[in-house]
Amino acid sequence: MVVGPVAFMALAALLFCIGLFGALSKKSAVLVLMCLELMTNAVNINLVALSRFLTPSSLAGQFAAAFIMVVAAAEIGLGLALVLALYKARRTVELDRLDRLKG
């Protein structure tokens, strides 16, 4: 079987969608962040795979993925700090209960 870019892309798509589903439906902020990680990782896979198959010498995809990792790390660091701050303020991380912007 030829494991070409299509295979990796399909895998990445699947992982992304699983992550999307979780991100949109989970009610715990921590779980949502986890699902967000799933999504970013899926994107990384896609980029690296395409770079390997299309422009192997420039490693463009790898660099893109590297910087995405940086941003994702920053994002999750801040996100979790937020979650902790929220928890301190509201004693809960249930997204359903955090609806002060309602109306």
- Binders of other proteins among residues 8 to 47 (CB under 8 A) are 8-11, 13-28, 30-35, 37-38, 41, 44-45
Positions 44 through 83 that interact with other proteins (CB under 8 A): 44-45, 48-49, 52-54, 56-59, 62-63, 65-67, 69-78, 80-83
Q: According to the binding rule CB under 8 A, does residue 90 interact with other proteins?
A: no
**Whole-angstrom Cα distance, residue 46 to residue 41?**
9
Q: According to the binding rule CB under 8 A, does residue 85 interact with other proteins?
A: yes
**Whole-angstrom Cα distance, residue 72 to residue 69?**
5
Q: What is the DSSP letter of 91?
A: S
Local structure of 82: helix, strand or coil: helix
Q: What is the DSSP letter of 4?
A: -
Q: How far is the CB of 61 from other proteins (least distance, A)?
A: 8
Q: According to the binding rule CB under 8 A, does residue 89 interact with other proteins?
A: no
